[in-house]
Amino acid sequence: MTVSLRPIEEKDKEEWINLWTGKGGYIEFYKSLHKITPEITDVTFARFLDPKEPVFAVVAVDDESGKLVGFAHYLTHRNTWTIEDALYLNDLFVSENVRLGGIGRKLIEYVYGAADKLNAKKVYWSTQFENHRAQLLYTKVGVKSGFLLYRRPD
Protein backbone atom coordinates (compact mmCIF):
# COMPACT_ATOMS: atom_id res chain seq x y z
CA MET A 1 0.00 0.00 0.00
CA THR A 2 1.20 3.46 -0.78
CA VAL A 3 0.03 6.43 1.23
CA SER A 4 0.21 10.17 0.95
CA LEU A 5 0.43 12.47 3.93
CA ARG A 6 -1.21 15.86 4.11
CA PRO A 7 -2.71 18.27 6.63
CA ILE A 8 -6.25 17.38 7.62
CA GLU A 9 -9.06 19.09 5.71
CA GLU A 10 -12.71 19.82 6.45
CA LYS A 11 -13.77 17.03 4.06
CA ASP A 12 -11.94 14.49 6.27
CA LYS A 13 -14.13 14.99 9.34
CA GLU A 14 -16.36 11.91 9.03
CA GLU A 15 -13.49 9.52 8.27
CA TRP A 16 -11.32 11.12 10.95
CA ILE A 17 -14.09 10.70 13.55
CA ASN A 18 -14.30 7.03 12.63
CA LEU A 19 -10.53 6.61 13.17
CA TRP A 20 -10.69 8.73 16.33
CA THR A 21 -13.70 7.29 18.19
CA GLY A 22 -15.09 4.53 15.98
CA LYS A 23 -14.91 0.76 16.41
CA GLY A 24 -11.24 -0.21 16.46
CA GLY A 25 -10.25 3.46 16.51
CA TYR A 26 -7.73 5.36 18.57
CA ILE A 27 -9.80 5.93 21.71
CA GLU A 28 -10.86 2.27 21.84
CA PHE A 29 -7.30 1.08 21.15
CA TYR A 30 -6.00 2.98 24.17
CA LYS A 31 -8.93 1.87 26.32
CA SER A 32 -9.39 5.48 27.36
CA LEU A 33 -11.18 6.00 30.64
CA HIS A 34 -11.77 9.62 29.63
CA LYS A 35 -15.15 10.07 27.96
CA ILE A 36 -14.63 11.67 24.56
CA THR A 37 -17.89 13.50 23.96
CA PRO A 38 -19.13 14.70 20.58
CA GLU A 39 -18.41 18.24 21.79
CA ILE A 40 -14.75 17.39 22.52
CA THR A 41 -14.48 15.77 19.10
CA ASP A 42 -16.02 18.78 17.33
CA VAL A 43 -13.85 21.31 19.17
CA THR A 44 -10.70 19.24 18.56
CA PHE A 45 -11.44 19.00 14.83
CA ALA A 46 -12.20 22.73 14.61
CA ARG A 47 -8.84 23.50 16.26
CA PHE A 48 -7.02 21.59 13.52
CA LEU A 49 -8.51 23.95 10.94
CA ASP A 50 -8.06 27.20 12.89
CA PRO A 51 -4.81 28.94 11.90
CA LYS A 52 -4.78 30.74 15.28
CA GLU A 53 -4.59 27.45 17.18
CA PRO A 54 -1.22 25.75 17.82
CA VAL A 55 -2.91 22.35 17.26
CA PHE A 56 -2.34 20.41 14.04
CA ALA A 57 -3.30 17.14 12.36
CA VAL A 58 -1.77 15.23 9.49
CA VAL A 59 -3.58 12.34 7.85
CA ALA A 60 -2.32 9.30 5.99
CA VAL A 61 -4.40 8.65 2.86
CA ASP A 62 -4.42 5.35 0.98
CA ASP A 63 -3.44 6.39 -2.55
CA GLU A 64 -5.62 3.72 -4.15
CA SER A 65 -8.89 4.16 -2.24
CA GLY A 66 -8.51 7.76 -1.08
CA LYS A 67 -9.52 6.67 2.45
CA LEU A 68 -7.84 7.83 5.65
CA VAL A 69 -5.76 5.09 7.25
CA GLY A 70 -4.00 7.03 10.00
CA PHE A 71 -3.30 10.35 11.64
CA ALA A 72 -0.99 12.26 13.88
CA HIS A 73 -2.08 15.15 16.10
CA TYR A 74 0.52 17.52 17.45
CA LEU A 75 0.74 20.86 19.18
CA THR A 76 3.35 23.43 20.00
CA HIS A 77 3.84 25.09 23.36
CA ARG A 78 6.25 27.29 25.26
CA ASN A 79 9.12 25.62 27.04
CA THR A 80 11.13 26.88 30.00
CA TRP A 81 14.31 25.09 28.84
CA THR A 82 14.52 26.62 25.36
CA ILE A 83 13.64 29.87 23.64
CA GLU A 84 11.90 27.98 20.86
CA ASP A 85 8.55 26.28 21.31
CA ALA A 86 8.43 22.53 21.90
CA LEU A 87 6.27 20.19 19.85
CA TYR A 88 4.25 17.45 21.52
CA LEU A 89 3.06 14.56 19.38
CA ASN A 90 -0.24 14.10 21.17
CA ASP A 91 -1.80 11.23 19.19
CA LEU A 92 -0.51 8.79 16.58
CA PHE A 93 -2.76 6.15 15.06
CA VAL A 94 -2.67 3.77 12.12
CA SER A 95 -5.61 1.52 11.24
CA GLU A 96 -5.04 -2.03 12.44
CA ASN A 97 -5.36 -3.59 8.99
CA VAL A 98 -2.43 -1.54 7.61
CA ARG A 99 -0.04 -1.53 10.57
CA LEU A 100 3.57 -2.62 10.12
CA GLY A 101 3.65 -1.03 6.67
CA GLY A 102 5.75 2.02 7.57
CA ILE A 103 2.86 4.47 7.93
CA GLY A 104 3.59 5.24 11.59
CA ARG A 105 7.19 6.07 10.72
CA LYS A 106 6.07 8.31 7.86
CA LEU A 107 3.69 10.16 10.19
CA ILE A 108 6.46 10.73 12.75
CA GLU A 109 8.84 11.92 10.03
CA TYR A 110 6.15 14.32 8.81
CA VAL A 111 5.83 15.68 12.36
CA TYR A 112 9.62 16.09 12.56
CA GLY A 113 9.44 18.13 9.35
CA ALA A 114 6.61 20.23 10.77
CA ALA A 115 8.69 20.86 13.89
CA ASP A 116 11.54 22.12 11.73
CA LYS A 117 9.18 24.47 9.87
CA LEU A 118 7.74 25.69 13.19
CA ASN A 119 11.25 26.09 14.67
CA ALA A 120 10.44 23.65 17.48
CA LYS A 121 13.73 22.01 18.43
CA LYS A 122 12.23 19.59 20.96
CA VAL A 123 9.77 16.94 19.73
CA TYR A 124 8.44 14.45 22.24
CA TRP A 125 5.60 12.01 22.88
CA SER A 126 4.49 9.29 25.26
CA THR A 127 2.97 5.85 24.91
CA GLN A 128 1.61 3.18 27.19
CA PHE A 129 4.12 0.79 28.76
CA GLU A 130 2.23 -2.13 27.22
CA ASN A 131 2.29 -0.76 23.67
CA HIS A 132 5.35 -2.81 22.72
CA ARG A 133 4.69 -2.80 18.97
CA ALA A 134 4.76 0.99 18.88
CA GLN A 135 7.87 1.06 21.04
CA LEU A 136 9.69 -1.04 18.44
CA LEU A 137 9.19 1.86 16.02
CA TYR A 138 9.81 4.59 18.58
CA THR A 139 13.25 3.27 19.48
CA LYS A 140 14.17 3.53 15.79
CA VAL A 141 12.99 7.11 15.28
CA GLY A 142 13.53 8.59 18.74
CA VAL A 143 15.27 8.17 22.07
CA LYS A 144 13.76 7.47 25.47
CA SER A 145 13.71 10.59 27.59
CA GLY A 146 14.38 8.84 30.87
CA PHE A 147 11.29 10.43 32.41
CA LEU A 148 8.05 8.86 33.56
CA LEU A 149 4.79 10.65 32.88
CA TYR A 150 2.56 11.55 35.81
CA ARG A 151 -0.83 13.22 35.74
CA ARG A 152 -3.43 14.64 38.07
CA PRO A 153 -5.88 11.97 39.26
CA ASP A 154 -9.36 12.10 37.74
Domain annotation covers residue 122: yes
Mean pLDDT of 36-54: 96
Domain annotation covers residue 49: yes
Q: Give the helix, strand, coil percentages of the chain, each rounded to 5.
A: 35, 25, 40
Domain annotation covers residue 98: yes
Helix (H) or strand (E) holding 28: helix 26-29
Domain annotation covers residue 147: no
**Between these two residues, 72 and 147, which has the higher pLDDT value?**
72
Could you say which DSSP state residue 7 is in?
Answer: E
Domain annotation covers residue 150: no
Residue 47 confidence (pLDDT): 98
HSE toward the beta carbon, residue 43, CA cutoff 13 A: 5
Domain total of the chain? 1
Domain annotation covers residue 151: no
- The model's pTM is 0.92
Contact 60, 92 (CB under 8 A): no
pLDDT tens track for 86-120: 999 999 999 999 998 999 999 999 999 999 999 99
Domain annotation covers residue 120: yes
Domain annotation covers residue 146: no
Which CATH number does the domain housing residue 42 bear? 3.40.630.30
Structural domain range at position 51: 3-141
